[in-house]
C-alpha cells in the first residue's frame, strides 16, 4: 500500500475544519489523536527502518508531491528517493559476501578433449540455490542472469542477491584483450586451451579480482570479508538440496588473502616458464579476504598483469599468481599483500579443498537469517 503524507494532512485539515464549524470538543480530541498517530507511526518507522529494509520494502513509500510534509517530517524520516533497491545496505547473518561471474564466451575447448558451453555453466549454477551467503553476480548473459534470478528466488534468497548485468568491456581486464592477443600471436607461443588461445578467457580470469574489488566498493551487505567463487566450484553438489554457508577457514589471517595450494612448486621458477608451460601453484577458483586486503590486492594484481604483458607473457590468473610470488616476481613487483596457503589434506580433489573446508550446512531459520 502506498502511503501519501499529503493525503494524511489533508484528512487532518478536514477534521479540523469540521471541528471549527461544529465546535465539537470530541472532534478536537480526534484531531489530536490523528496527529499523534501519524507522528508516532513515522517515529516508529524511523527507529526500525533498518529492520524493515531486511525485507526489501519499496524505498519510495512517499509521493514526490509531498514536499511540504517532508520538510516538516525530515527530522524524523530523512528522504531517500535517490537510493535504489540495488544499493540498499541489506542485513545478513553471515560475515562473507560471495562474488561470482559468468561472461558469455560461447563454446570453447578446455584442455585436450573437453568442450565447455554456456549450458555447462548453467548446469553448474544449481548449487547457488542453496548458498546462504549474500551473493553478488556479474554477467553479460541474459540467460545466465535469468537462471540465477530463478534459482535464488526458488531458494528464497532474493533478499541477499544482487545481479549486475554489464558490458564486460568496461572492466579493465577486458580492455586488455588486444594486448593479450598480441602476446598469444607471438611465433612459437604455446597453445594451452583455452588459457593461451582465447584472449577473452584469460581476461575473464583476471576479471575475478576486478569484480570482487567492485563488490567491496559497493559494500551492499556491509560484510567484513569478501570471497570469489567460481560458478563451477561446487559442481559436485548440483544434486544436493542442503543449504550451506561459506565461513572463514580455520586459522584465517585477516592480513592475507586466503587461497588453495594445488601443487608445491619451486619458487625460483622463472615467470617465462610459468606462463609458457602453464604451471599452477595455487588455484583461482576461490579466494577470501578482508575488505581492505581485497582492494589492495586488486591494485597489486593489475600492476602484475601489466608488468607481465610488457614482458610479452600472459596466461590465466593462476600463472599470474605464481609469477607474482616467484623469486623473480617478488623482486620486480614487491607485493605488499601476502597469500595464506591452505594445503589440501585427505583424499579429496585438491582443487576444491578450501571451499569444502569453509562450507558449513545450514538449517534454515528466519530468525537466524536476519540476526
For 30-50, what is the mean pLDDT? Answer: 59
> Is the same domain home to 101 and 81?
no
Task: Give the other-Cβ count within 10 Å of 282's Cβ.
Answer: 22
**Residue that wins the pLDDT comparison between 118 and 112:** 118
Residue 42 confidence (pLDDT): 59
> Is the same domain home to 232 and 322?
yes
Q: For the chain, give the secondary structure using H, E and C.
A: CCCCHHHHHHHHHHHHHHHHHHCCHHHHHHHHHHHHHHHHHHHHHHHCHHHHHCCCCCCCCCCCCCHHHHHHHCCCCCCCCCCCHHHCCCCCCCCEEEEEEECCCCCEEECCCEEECHHHHHHHHHHHHCECCCEEEEECCHHHHHHHHHHHHHCCCHHHEEEEECCHHHCCCHHHHHHHHHHHCCCCCCCCCCCCCCHHHHHHHHHHHHHHHHHHHHCCCCCCEEEEECCCCCHHHCCCCCCEEECCCCCCCCCCEEEEECCCCCCCCCHHHHHHCCCCCEEEEEEEEEHHHHHHHHHHHHHHHHHHHHCCCCCCHHHHHHHHHCHHHHHHHCCCCCEEEECCCCCCCHHHHHHHHHEEECCCCHHHHCC
- Confidence class of residue 28 from pLDDT cuts 50, 70 and 90? low
> Is the same domain home to 53 and 191?
no
> Is the same domain home to 65 and 100?
no
**Closest to 159 (Cα-Cα) out of 83, 244, 86:** 86
Q: Decide if 15 contacts 30 (C-beta within 8 A).
A: yes
For the chain, the domain total comes to 2
> Is the same domain home to 175 and 264?
yes
> Is the same domain home to 194 and 325?
yes
**Closest to 134 (Cα-Cα) out of 169, 151, 154, 159:** 159
Q: Decide if 94 contacts 205 (C-beta within 8 A).
A: no
> The domain containing residue 48 runs over which residues?
5-87
Residue 364 confidence (pLDDT): 81
Residue 357 has pLDDT above 50, yes or no: yes
- Percent of the chain at pLDDT exceeding 90: 71
For 64-86, what is the mean pLDDT? Answer: 37
Residue that terminates a domain, selected from 70, 87, 104: 87
**Residue that wins the pLDDT comparison between 173 and 34:** 173
Residue that terminates a domain, selected from 53, 87, 121: 87
**Residue that wins the pLDDT comparison between 249 and 2:** 249
For 159-211, the pLDDT digits (tens) are 999 999 999 999 999 999 999 999 999 999 999 999 999 999 999 999 999 99
The residues, ordered by sequence, that sit 6+ positions from 12 with a Cβ below 8 Å of its Cβ are 31, 34, 35, 38
Mean pLDDT of the chain: 84
> Is the same domain home to 69 and 30?
yes
For 218-237, what is the mean pLDDT? Answer: 97
> Is the same domain home to 74 and 104?
no
Q: Decide if 130 contacts 153 (C-beta within 8 A).
A: no
> Is the same domain home to 34 and 160?
no
Query: And the C-alpha cell for 40?
Result: 508516532
Q: Provide the phi-psi class of 346: left if phi over 0, else alpha when psi is between -120 and 50, else beta.
A: left
For 283-340, the pLDDT digits (tens) are 999 999 999 999 999 999 999 999 999 999 999 999 999 999 999 999 999 999 999 9
Q: Decide if 87 contacts 217 (C-beta within 8 A).
A: no
User: How big is the CA angle at 350 (ends 362 and 325), to the nearest 5 degrees?
Assistant: 110
Residue that terminates a domain, selected from 87, 111, 128: 87
Give the integer Cα–Cα distance in Å for 141 and 158: 19
> Is the same domain home to 82 and 101?
no
Give the integer Cα–Cα distance in Å for 46 and 184: 58
Residue 347 confidence (pLDDT): 87
**Closest to 237 (Cα-Cα) out of 354, 152, 356:** 356
Residue 214 confidence (pLDDT): 98
> Is the same domain home to 57 and 102?
no
Residue 3 confidence (pLDDT): 44
Give the integer Cα–Cα distance in Å for 283 and 292: 22
- Confidence class of residue 363 from pLDDT cuts 50, 70 and 90? confident
Q: Decide if 242 contacts 282 (C-beta within 8 A).
A: no
Residue 283 confidence (pLDDT): 98
Q: Give me the CATH number covering residue 232.
A: 3.90.550
> Is the same domain home to 69 and 216?
no
Amino acid at each position: 500500500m502506498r502511503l501519501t503524507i499529503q493525503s494524511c494532512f489533508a484528512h487532518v485539515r478536514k477534521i479540523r475544519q469540521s471541528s471549527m464549524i461544529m465546535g465539537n470538543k470530541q472532534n478536537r480530541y480526534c484531531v489530536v489523536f490523528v496527529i499523534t498517530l501519524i507522528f508516532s507511526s513515522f517515529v516508529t518507522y524511523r527507529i526500525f527502518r533498518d529492520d524493515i529494509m531486511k525485507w526489501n520494502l519499496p524505498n519510495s513509500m512517499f509521493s514526490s508531491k509531498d514536499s511540504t510534509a517532508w520538510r516538516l517530517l525530515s527530522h524524523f524520516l530523512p528522504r531517500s528517493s535517490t537510493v535504489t533497491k540495488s544499493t540498499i545496505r541489506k542485513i545478513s547473518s553471515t560475515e562473507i559476501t560471495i562474488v561470482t561471474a559468468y561472461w558469455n564466451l560461447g563454446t570453447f575447448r578446455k584442455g585436450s578433449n573437453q568442450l565447455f558451453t554456456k549450458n555447462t555453466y548453467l548446469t553448474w549454477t544449481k548449487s547457488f540455490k542453496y548458498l546462504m551467503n549474500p551473493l553478488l553476480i556479474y554477467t553479460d548473459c541474459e540467460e545466465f542472469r535469468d537462471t540465477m534470478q530463478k534459482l535464488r528466488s526458488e531458494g528464497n534468497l532474493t533478499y541477499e542477491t544482487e545481479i549486475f548485468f554489464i558490458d564486460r568491456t568496461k572492466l579493465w581486464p577486458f580492455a586488455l584483450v588486444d594486448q593479450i592477443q598480441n602476446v598469444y600471436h607471438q611465433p612459437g607461443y604455446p597453445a594451452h586451451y583455452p588459457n593461451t588461445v582465447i584472449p577473452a578467457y584469460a581476461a575473464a580470469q583476471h576479471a575475478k579480482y576486478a569484480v570482487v574489488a567492485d563488490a567491496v566498493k559497493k559494500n551492499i551487505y556491509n560484510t567484513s570479508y569478501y570471497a570469489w567463487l567460481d560458478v563451477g566450484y561446487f559442481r559436485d553438489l548440483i544434486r544436493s538440496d542442503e543449504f550451506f554457508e561459506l565461513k572463514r577457514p580455520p586459522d584465517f589471517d585477516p592480513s592475507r588473502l586466503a587461497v588453495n595450494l594445488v601443487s608445491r612448486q619451486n619458487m625460483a621458477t622463472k615467470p617465462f616458464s610459468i606462463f609458457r608451460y602453464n604451471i599452477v601453484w595455487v588455484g583461482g577458483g576461490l579466494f577470501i579476504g578482508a575488505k581492505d586486503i581485497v582492494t589492495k590486492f586488486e591494485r597489486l594484481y593489475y600492476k602484475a598483469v601489466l608488468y607481465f604483458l610488457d614482458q610479452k607473457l600472459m596466461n590465466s590468473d593462476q600463472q599470474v599468481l605464481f609469477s607474482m610470488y616467484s623469486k623473480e616476481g617478488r623482486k620486480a613487483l614487491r607485493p605488499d599483500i601476502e597469500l595464506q596457503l591452505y594445503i589440501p589434506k585427505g583424499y579429496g580433489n585438491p582443487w576444491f579443498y578450501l571451499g569444502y573446508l569453509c562450507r558449513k550446512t545450514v538449517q534454515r531459520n528466519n530468525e537466524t537469517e536476519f540476526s
